[in-house]
A and B are shown apart, each in its own frame.
Chain A
């Protein structure tokens, strides 16, 4: 599904503050499976995730998505792939304040110019699936942490992506909400979606639904973590 070949990512190249976040990572992420990128802070998890999700380009190496080389594609094409293929769940909900839950959920679909009634119906359906029907017209500031997280999940799913990317999704959730999140991930898996999660939360990477755990440290894959 996703193939990373000797990927490197260097920040502030050529400056005294230059540092390498990812050092020659080669990785295969299987389709319809849940993969966890595990590692301590600064191990390069988020950087690797952003490269996989077409949010940034590697400094070296190649990335293939469904056998298609995407490393050298112009920004417009990358955005297109990102919009149609990936759904992002961030560490924090990253919802836009001042507008309603429904508008936040519909945001990723705006540039596609889809008919409003269709888009609205789909957003409502997504909200009802995560028990948020009553919150559609609420401003996002009024939501609890768990509700905001679920809204961001509905937003990630609005364009019906085949790959879900979640960056430290349980970092700001209590145990109960973290379990609730994992149930949602299980649902994604059952629907045939590919899920990639970065986490250093045992509740996530020790979960029985996880198919693959990739250990990262200092920007490299640890083959035999202790």
Chain B
């Protein structure tokens, strides 16, 4: 065993010195290889982390959202529907929501405007946090106990706003500044900013603006008997599907959307986006594979001579192959580790600066949020098999061909 270890040490030492002898070529290869791993790993980490982030947020979202459809399009929901829904057995609570999008032509961004959730209203005067309603029997209750966003200390009254960090950043405004809006009737509403939102996930609050119900109705011209949609809390979580069915049956124009559907949609959107990135980068991977194959299959005259000398001085074919294996393994493992570490820094510390716009694209406003670092073994294994294994194999095959020739012919070629 000691002999075997010692032998491997000798071979690895020789491999490293061999790599150092062809410094420029190998460093070039390593840089290119690392870049490929970096791109692939970044795409993977980003897609996975944002999916998790979205899932985390959406887990805290309502069990059922009820929209009103007119001609197959989302329309405002009559307030009278709320009582109708409330009367359905199994419904614990129904709340109306008022929200909408506002396009700010000054900065070319879309904001999400909404009123504070109703269960917050009772605490409003103390300026507390928004707590998402949860049921004790719900297995997701622990996830849901967190506040989606906070505006500690800020008091929302008519004529005031609380804005998300993205909005503040883009407009270069903050607390006590004024923000003008043109209402549906053409009037200018000059609103005072009384606070900023903070959140565990900036993805939620970055482009968000909270305003009072009266102001929102005036801004969008929504009559008092209409709301944007309703959120329904169900007593027994296993009854969600049934309650949704009952709502649909009772109110024909209603479209109940359950949380799982939203989760599934987001998941497929991000999978699709990630897949699209991989398709684009597969061209880069292909270029690398051609390069690696060319490098590996076309042993240079110097390398052939070296193999000839090694065989002539008593190295076996297996020893030469082991040397090349270590060479491939050292290059590809270094590139793998380097690429993965760089991708980790890129995705989780620099906010995926390189391809954030391509992967997010929620709206015109790109929220600047920090993703929660998360990597799983499956991702790393996939990446490993996509990068390290093919390169190592590509290095060994031509070496095997070169190493199986008689040392005699090596001697003749080298001996002149």
Contact = CB atoms under 8 A, between A and B. Distances in A.
Given A92-B414, A110-B11, A55 B3 contact: no
Contact of B7 (A76, A92, A107, A113): A113
B316 interface: yes
A112 B5 CA distance: 11
Interface stretch (A22-30, A83-91, A124-132, A212-220): A83-91
B314 interface: yes
A92 B416 contact: yes
Interface string A62-105: 00000000000001100100110000101110111111000100
27 contacts: A46-B415, A47-B408, A50-B406, A55-B406, A56-B407, A75-B316, A76-B318, A79-B317, A82-B314, A88-B312, A88-B313, A91-B416, A92-B414, A94-B312, A94-B411, A96-B309, A96-B310, A98-B18, A98-B21, A107-B313, A108-B314, A110-B7, A110-B11, A111-B7, A112-B3, A113-B7, A116-B9
A99 B15 CA distance: 11
A55 B408 contact: yes
Interface in A136-160: 155, 159
Interface in B297-356: 306, 309-319
Given A47-B408, A98-B17, A113-B10, 4 more contacts: A90-B312, A94-B415, A108-B313, A116-B6
Contacts of A98: 17-18, 20-21
B264 interface: no
B4 A113 contact: yes
Most chain B CB neighbours (cut-off 10 Å) among A79, A98, A111, A168:
A111
A167 B317 contact: no
A99 B21 contact: yes
A76 B316 contact: yes
Contacts of B407: 50, 55-56, 82
Contact of B415 (A47, A90, A96, A115): A90
A159 B314 contact: yes
B279 to A, nearest CB: 42
A91 B314 contact: no
Interface of B: 2-7, 9-11, 14, 17-18, 20-21, 306, 309-319, 406-409, 411-412, 414-416
Nearest to B323: A110
Contacts of B313: 88, 107-108, 155
A110 B312 contact: no
B306 A96 contact: yes
Interface residues of A, number: 35
A168 B406 CA distance: 20
A116 B11 CA distance: 12
A56 B408 contact: yes
Nearest to B23: A98
A90 B312 CA distance: 10
B6 A94 contact: no
Given A90-B415, A167-B411, A110 B315 contact: yes
A114 interface: yes
Contacts of A103: 14, 17
Interface string A25-52: 0000000000000000000001100100
A91 B309 CA distance: 12
Nearest to B305: A94
B314 A79 contact: yes
B18 to A, nearest CB: 8
A111 B321 CA distance: 12
B315 A111 contact: yes
B316 A114 contact: no
A107 B310 contact: yes
A55 B316 contact: no
Nearest to B7: A113
A19 B17 CA distance: 40
Contacts of B316: 75-76, 79, 111
Nearest to B4: A113
Contacts of B414: 90, 92, 94
Given A83-B314, A111-B316, A46 B14 contact: no
Given A55-B312, A103-B17, A113-B4, A46 B306 contact: no
Contacts of B309: 94-96
Contacts of A90: 312, 411, 414-415
Contacts of B21: 97-99
Given A55-B411, A90-B312, A94-B415, A110 B10 contact: yes
